[in-house]
Amino acid sequence: MKHARIAHSGRDLWVTVSPDNQTLTLPNGQTLPTSEAQFLAPVTPGAATYALGLNYADHSRELGFAAKQETPLVFLKGTNGFVGHNGQTPRPSDANQMHPECELVAIIGKPARKVSRAQALDYVRGYTIANDYAIREYLENYLRPNARVKNRDATTPLGPWIIDAADIPDPQALQLTTSVNGEMVQRGSTSDMILDIAGLIEYLSSFITLMPGDMILTGTPHGVHFCAAGDEVVCEIEHIGALANHLVGEPA
C-alpha cells in the first residue's frame, strides 16, 4: 500500500494511493485524481532526517575516493529543505555545479535502539524517494558536507509517496535512475550501497534512538550532471515510483 501527503481544501492530509497510482483516497472516503493533487513532502512532523554521503562505491570513485569510508558519513537535514512531488526547487544564481542525486529513503516505523543487523528491517515502515541536490560551489570538504550544500530551502524533493515495507521484499535490489529533460543522466542499483539499510539502522541505533517517522537517505550512485533553471528532473526507483521536480531561477 502507498500513502501520500497532500494539501487539499486548506488542510494537510495523508491519503491512500491506488495500486495504479491514478487515484488518491482521502480520509473521508472522497477520491481525487493523482494528476489534480498538490503533493507535499511525506514528512512526519518532528521526525529526524539522517542522510548518507559517499555510500555508493561507484559514486565515491567518481568523486576521486579510492577507498571506502571506514565509518558512514552521516549528516542531518532540516525539514525546510524538503519539497513535494512536482514542486519547484530554486537554483541559486551563482550555482553552476548543481546536480541531482536520486536516493532510496527508509522510514522508521517503531522506536529502534541498539538494533541488530538481523532485525533491522523489521523497524522499517516503508520507503520513498529523495532527490538530494548538491551544489558543488558551496562544498567545503567532501567529508564535512556544510549546510549550504545540503540544507537549503526546497532543495530536497521527496515523495511522491511512501510505499509499505512489506511491498518491497528486497530494498537492496532496486534500480535507480535520474533523467533531466527526458535524458537519463544517472543509473544505478541499491545493491551497490557500501553499507546497506540494515547496516545503517544498526549503526545509527547504536548511539541514538531512531523514532517513528525518522528518515534515512541512503546515498546516491554515480552520475554527476549539472542542471540549469528550467530543467525538469525525474528520479525513479523501481517498484516505488517517479519523483518529478522543476528547477527555477533564484533571484540574485
pLDDT, one tens digit per residue, over 192-234 is 999 999 999 999 999 999 999 999 999 999 888 999 999 999 9
C-alpha cell at 111: 522506536
CA distance 155 to 136: 13
**Is residue 35 located within the same domain as residue 45?**
no
Question: In residues, how long is the chain?
Answer: 252
Share of the chain above pLDDT 90, in %: 79
Q: Indicate whether 64 pLDDT > 70.
A: no
Structure pTM? 0.93
| Region 65-93 average pLDDT | 86
Indicate if 22 and 128 belong to the same structural domain. Answer: no
> pLDDT tens-digit profile of 30-61?
999 999 999 999 999 899 999 998 788 765 56
* Whether residues 139 and 117 fall in one domain: yes
The CATH number of residue 78's host domain is 3.90.850.10
Kindly state whether residues 63 and 8 are assigned to the same domain: no
Question: The domain containing residue 118 runs over which residues?
Answer: 41-249
Q: Give all strands of the β-sheet with 232-237 in edge-to-edge order.
A: 87-91, 241-249, 232-237, 175-180, 183-189
Query: What 3-state DSSP class applies to 32?
Result: strand
Q: Are residues 14 and 78 in the same domain?
A: no
Q: How many CA atoms lie within 13 A of 238 on its CB side?
A: 14
Query: What is the rounded average pLDDT for all residues in the chain?
Result: 92
Grid cell 554521503 is found at 53
